[in-house]
Amino acid sequence: MQLQKAIIGKKVGMTQIFDESGKVIPVTVIEAGPCVVVQKKTTERDGYSAVQLGFEDVKESKLSKPELGHLKKAEVSPKKYLKEFRLEKAADMNVGDTVKADVFAAGEKVDVTGISKGHGYQGVIKRWNAQRTPTTHGGGPVHRHAGSMGSCSDPSRIFKGKIGAGQMGVEQVTIQNLDVVKVDAELNMVVVRGAIPGPKGGVVCIKNTVKNNRVKQAATAVSINPQKASARVNPQKASARNR
């Protein structure tokens, strides 16, 4: 599925705002863009249509020679982050075009992708919510261990996907169907409802949601049958008991 719009940003942090009725809305502030089109891919040359966006200026000394050559070819200032997006209107975009935060608008639904926070090397209880063994009747010092792996002479190995201790976090996570609460193009700010993955300062990608948000239809007409109405109002009536 091709995307309609996308942008690279940086997570600033969480706060809360109030809506018109005075209710508190927990939101995440994202510094979105401005991003520059660094490369354009076409169906004739590359087999598919897409654009590569660059975000956040950086010193030339921080980049390798191939990276600098790639950016100089596009006549774009050195960028720290590059990300490719298959957009529906990629054919209409050109190298050097700027994508700003106002590509999104308040009320839209977006998906936010980022790298989750790292928690280091953790055991199965914290990493997978496993249950510890009983602490009485000679359980021994294995209360927080992974326990039996279920393998014997056949298959003589542990199947992939078995829970165990290991690195927790630092994974690509996508939170879908978030509401855009506010957009400020001058401050390059996009405010979304709820939390997004990653620490403060983490790089995220904002895309229009892939969810199919259907508009709820109006409620069907309620029957005017007096017997059905009496059953709805008072279930103890005969019309309700005889159904």
User: Which tens digits make up the pLDDT trace of 76-95?
Assistant: 889 899 999 998 888 888 88
How many H-runs (helices) and E-runs (strands) does the chain carry? 5, 12
Question: Looking at the domain assignment, is residue 23 inside a domain?
Answer: no
Domain total for the chain? 1
On whether residue 203 sits in a domain, the answer given is no
Q: Count the residues in the chain.
A: 243
pLDDT at 193 over 90: yes
On whether residue 9 sits in a domain, the answer given is: no
Q: Does position 216 have pLDDT exceeding 80, yes or no?
A: no
Which CATH number characterizes residue 127's domain?
A: 4.10.960.10
Per-residue pLDDT, 230:
58
Residue 146 belongs to a domain: yes
Is position 90 within any domain? Answer: no
Phi-psi sector, 56: left (phi>0), alpha (psi -120 to 50), beta:
left
Strand stretches in 136-200, DSSP E: 166-168, 172-184, 189-193
Residue 124, pLDDT above cutoff 80:
yes
- pLDDT averaged over every residue in the chain: 86
- Amino acid, single-letter form, for residue 168: M
HSE-CB of 211 using CA atoms within 13 angstroms: 15
Residues 3 and 86 sit within 8 Å (Cβ to Cβ): yes
Give the residue-averaged pLDDT of 133-146.
Answer: 86
Is 156 contained in some domain?
Answer: yes
What's the CA dihedral at 88, 94, 96, 99 to 10 degrees?
Answer: -30
211: confidence class by pLDDT, cuts 50, 70, 90: confident
For residue 184, which of 175, 192, 176, 173 has the smallest C-alpha distance? 192
Residue 148 within a domain: yes
pTM of the model: 0.76
CA-wise closest residue to 87 among 10, 196, 7, 9: 7
Domain assignment present for residue 154? The answer is yes
pLDDT given at position 205: 93
Domain that holds residue 146: 119-168
Note the pLDDT of residue 199: 93
Q: Quickly state the pLDDT bin for 242 (edges 50, 70, 90).
A: low
